[in-house]
């Protein structure tokens, strides 16, 4: 069994992205599952191209995508991805979509197939603040989640897939009035999410 875990490159003027910093720190195996790690670009168009290729190549049984949600106080396990790209700010390629579908002729939304409530319960039991989130937004994170779930569904794969947003890490908020979470705690949260998804 393989678990595909992704994080994003920095964006929005940040020097780091806590999602990728945490994913990089994950062990190469958890239980009997091989952990494969990829950094995704903060690009609407590239994510739509790359993720299907990565899933096709690696054939994972579990797909956990992660991204930064600066300003959130908890690890937020996403419930739903919607078929829209809409942003007030440009992605790292300078692209700024407005009310665009991610894929034409695709469903309006997909629900995560990860055990989201069980993940949140396990995180809280391990003293990590966590909640279920009912919006992955309309930026590149949502596009990644929708793309993965759409690929799994249309190819009738058995893989579980979903998305987890993580807060800033302390070094990002030295001059911001915003919450943060230690990187080690974020890494542990992703590990716990993997374990719960393997059960």
Of the candidates 9, 58, 100, 165, the residue annotated as catalytic is 165
Can you name the residues that pair with 161 across neighbouring β-strands?
Answer: 63
Q: What integer pLDDT is reported at residue 37 of this predicted model?
A: 98
Q: What integer pLDDT is reported at residue 130 of this predicted model?
A: 98
Between CA 70 and CA 180 the distance in angstroms is 8
Between CA 113 and CA 4 the distance in angstroms is 14
Of the candidates 141, 150, 191, 196, the residue annotated as catalytic is 141
Tokens describing residue 180:
């943060």
Q: Reply yes or no on whether 165 is catalytic.
A: yes
For the chain, how are helix, strand and coil distributed in percent, rounded to 5? Answer: 35, 25, 45
What's the predicted TM-score (pTM) here? 0.97
Calculate the alpha carbon distances from 193 to 26, 66, 84, 108, 148 in Å. 12, 11, 26, 26, 17
Per-residue pLDDT of the chain (199 residues; tens, 9 = 90+): 999 999 999 999 999 999 999 999 999 999 999 999 999 999 999 999 999 999 999 999 999 999 999 999 999 999 999 999 999 999 999 999 999 999 999 999 999 999 999 999 999 999 999 999 999 999 999 999 999 999 999 999 999 999 999 999 999 999 999 999 999 999 999 999 999 999 8
Between CA 118 and CA 197 the distance in angstroms is 9
Q: Is 154 helix (H, G, I), strand (E, B) or coil?
A: helix
Q: What integer pLDDT is reported at residue 122 of this predicted model?
A: 98
What structural domains does the chain harbor? 2-198 (3.40.630.20)
Of the candidates 78, 150, 191, 196, the residue annotated as catalytic is 78
Q: Reply yes or no on whether 78 is catalytic.
A: yes
Can you name the residues that pair with 7 across neighbouring β-strands?
Answer: 39
Q: What integer pLDDT is reported at residue 158 of this predicted model?
A: 96
């Amino acid at each position: 069994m393989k678990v595909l875990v992704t994080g994003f490159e920095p964006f929005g003027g940040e020097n780091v992205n806590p999602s990728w910093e945490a994913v990089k720190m994950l062990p190469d195996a958890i239980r009997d599952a091989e952990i494969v790690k990829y950094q995704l670009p903060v690009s609407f168009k590239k994510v739509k191209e790359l993720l299907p290729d990565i899933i096709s190549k690696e054939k994972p049984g579990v797909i956990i995508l992660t991204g930064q949600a600066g300003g959130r106080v908890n690890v937020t396990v996403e419930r739903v991805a919607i078929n829209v790209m809409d942003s007030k700010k440009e992605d790292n390629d300078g692209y700024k979509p407005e009310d665009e579908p991610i894929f034409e002729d695709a469903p309006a939304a997909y629900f995560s197939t990860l055990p989201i409530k069980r993940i949140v319960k396990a995180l809280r039991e391990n003293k990590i603040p966590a909640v279920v989130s009912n919006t992955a937004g309309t930026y590149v994170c949502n596009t990644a989640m929708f793309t993965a779930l759409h690929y799994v569904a249309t190819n009738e794969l058995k893989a579980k897939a979903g998305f987890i947003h993580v807060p800033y890490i302390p070094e990002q908020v030295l001059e911001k009035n915003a919450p943060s979470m230690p990187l080690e705690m974020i890494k542990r949260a992703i590990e716990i999410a993997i374990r719960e998804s393997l059960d």
